[in-house]
Every structure is written in C-alpha cells, then in structure tokens.
Amino acid sequence: MTEPKINCPFSTTQMQQFVDLAITAAKQAGKYIASYPRGQLKVEHKSQDLSLSAQVVTEVDRHCERIILNTLKPITQLHQLATLAEENTEGFDLTRHPRFSSEAFWAIDPLDGTLPFIEGGDGCAVSIALVNKAGQALLGVCYLPYKDTLYHSYFNPNSQQHYSFKQQLAFEQKTPSNMSDLSSTSLNFYCDRSSLKLPYFEQLEQQLEQLAKQLGYSKLQVKSDAGAVVNACSVINEPNALYLKLAKRAQGGGSIWDFAASSSIAQGCDVWVSDSYGHALELNKPTSCFMNLKGVLFASNSSLAKQVLALELNQRFSDV
C-alpha cells in the first residue's frame, strides 16, 4: 500500500503543541477513569441499531469528554478546528458536520471500550486524534488508564513522516530478524467481542488458523476482551499480531474516533494499517462516520498484512 502525501496545514512547532495538549487532555481523562468507583456506575443506552458496545454509555464517558474538550478549547478556538467527539454527536447530522469545511478536526473517543470498563476489565482507553480535511490523521494520542500506558504520534511536515512514541520512548523497529523463530510463537488475532457472534466467524477463524500454520506459527490465539483502541495498540506493541474487522452493510464497524489516533501511531512505527481491502483508511467520509463498508486491518508488519489480504476474506465472508 502506497501512502498518499499528507497535507498538513500546520508547522512542526504547532504540531508539537497540539500533541502536547492532547497528551495532557488524555491523561486527565484517564486519571478520572482509573479513579472512578465502577460499582457506582449508571449505564445508559444510545441507538438500538448499533452493537451493544456502541450502545452503552456512562456518566464517565460524558465527563471525560468534557475534560478533553475544555483542555483543547483554547487551541481549538485559536486555529478554528472542528470537533468530532463520540458523545456529542448523537442526534447530529454528521453529513453536515463542520469537519468538512475546517482545515482539520479533533476526533475524540473519551472512553473507548465502555463494555470492558463497566465489567471491571482493563481493555479501555482514551483516544484523541487530529485529522485533516482529506481524512488523514496528523496526530494521535491513546492513553490506557489501567495500564498507565501512553502512545502518541505526530506528523512532521518538514520530514513528511509520522513520529510515534510509547511513554516517551521511541518504538523499536519490527524487523524480520525479530520474528524469525515462530515455531513456539502464537499469532494473536485481536477482534471485537461482537465479531464472535458473526455467522461466519468460525470459518474466518479457521482461515486465519491455516494461515498461521503456513507462516510457521504454533497456533492462532483469539483475543476479544478489549475495545478497538486497546486492540489496535496491542498490535502496534507486538511483533506477531493482527486486528481485523471485515466490511459489512450494517452501520457500525467502529467509527472515525475509534481508529484515527491509533492509525497515526501505527504509521510512525512501521505497523500496517488500512481498510480490510488494503487501502488507506477514510477518516473523513461525507456519508458516515462509521467504517463498516470498508472494514479495518492492523497488522504488526506489512508481510503479515499482505498474507491476510491475499486470503480475500471480504469476498468469502462479507455481505457488502
């Protein structure tokens, strides 16, 4: 996959200011999440047309969004940035959103992985991205509050590169030499819990198991206990992993705010990110904020991604 040239309307200094402020916002929201007594949660439900994970919302989601928006407000107003945040979009006509006229917009998920959060798990995260009008991620911040782990990335317009970091330390490059002995290593397949209920999931799992054996892995390990942001960050952090959502007709499949930040981070550390057909993610579609029509693929390296894409899984299983 050839990445198109990224249009960045800001200077390198401005990008660093943006990412520093986004880190502050994400940490503040994450601190609130980690300190909240989950036994006192009150759970609300949004549209019944969405999956359970997309339906549930808590007062924590809404409070974290307020924290983030208030922290970003000065720089948002100064540069006339638009804002696409999960909890302030309900009932809003997203086809007429200000992000289509602004030079860039924030894509914010104040608490991704609400289901793991309310169930007492640690598979949740705060996600903040800045996306240009063309739908390309310019920066990404993902904070995992229960792991106290921060991933962040920003695009440098001078070098035309993304630079990604984990807790202030640059990612190690994932080279073939680091992955040469796979016979005792599992290939981790990250997926959403809703994927387990898909009518074709068992067949999909079998296809990926066969691929894992062909590539020399000991087995395929399915992991489905986290939200989209933690799943993507897990692939970014591991040498032998993939996260896949196939295309489908029904709305869902994650949203812009689920993948904008992690896609920026992936680009800065040689991790593959694309839709499930192998094309660049569309992060500012005029018709919908959902990713269902194209799906999503994260893979630890391009070689693994190309092997997965060669299976043509959408043609076998997707209803699109």
Three-state SS letters, the chain: CCCCCCCCCCCHHHHHHHHHHHHHHHHHHHHHHHHCCHHHCCEEECCCCCCHHHHEEEHHHHHHHHHHHHHHHHHHHHCCCEEEEHHHCCCCCHHHCHHHCCCEEEEEEEEECHHHHHCCCCCCEEEEEEEECCCCEEEEEEEECCCCEEEEEEEECCCCEEEEEECCEECCCCCHHHHCCCCCCEEEEECCHHHHHCCCHHHHHHHHHHHHHHCCCCEEEEECCCCHHHHHHHHHHCCCEEEEECCCCCCCCCEHHHHHHHHHHHHCCCCEEECCCCCCCCCCCCCCCECCCCCEEEECCHHHHHHHHHCCHHHHHCCC
Specify if 130 maps to a domain: yes
Based on the number of CB atoms within 10 Å of its own CB, is 280 exposed (0-12), middle (13-18) or buried (19 or more)?
A: middle
Specify if 7 maps to a domain: no
126 with 262, same domain: the answer is no
User: What is the CB-side half-sphere exposure of residue 274 using CA atoms within 13 A?
Assistant: 20
Q: What pLDDT is recorded for position 177?
A: 38
Specify if 3 maps to a domain: no
Domain boundary residue among 154, 170, 186? 170
Domain boundary residue among 126, 146, 170? 170
28 with 91, same domain: the answer is yes
Name residues whose C-beta falls within 8 Å of residue 247's C-beta, 6 or more positions apart in sequence: 253, 275, 276, 277, 292, 293, 294, 295, 314, 318, 320
**Range of the structural domain that residue 26 is part of:** 12-170
pLDDT in tens, the chain (320 residues): 666 789 999 999 999 999 999 999 999 999 999 999 988 887 776 555 545 445 457 899 999 999 999 999 999 999 999 999 986 665 566 667 899 999 999 999 999 999 899 999 999 999 999 999 999 999 999 999 999 999 999 999 999 999 999 986 777 655 443 445 676 799 999 999 999 999 999 999 999 999 999 999 999 999 999 999 999 999 999 999 999 999 999 888 899 999 999 999 999 998 999 999 999 999 999 888 999 999 999 999 999 999 999 999 999 998 88
Q: What pLDDT is recorded for position 89?
A: 60
Specify if 45 maps to a domain: yes
Place of tokens 């503040």: 28
Q: What pLDDT is recorded for position 52?
A: 45
Q: What pLDDT is recorded for position 143?
A: 98
Q: What pLDDT is recorded for position 173?
A: 52
CATH code of 92's domain = 3.30.540.10
C-alpha–C-alpha distance, residues 169 and 281, integer Å = 26
CATH code of 199's domain = 3.40.190.80
Domain boundary residue among 138, 170, 202? 170
Q: How far is CA 273 from CA 16, 151, 212, 318, in A?
A: 23, 16, 19, 19
pTM above 0.95, yes or no: no
Other Cβ atoms within 10 Å of 229 Cβ, number = 28
Q: What pLDDT is recorded for position 228?
A: 97
Instruction: Give me the number of domains the chain comprises.
Output: 2
71 with 107, same domain: the answer is yes
Residue 243 identity (one-letter amino acid):
Y
Specify if 254 maps to a domain: yes
C-alpha–C-alpha distance, residues 157 and 278, integer Å = 25
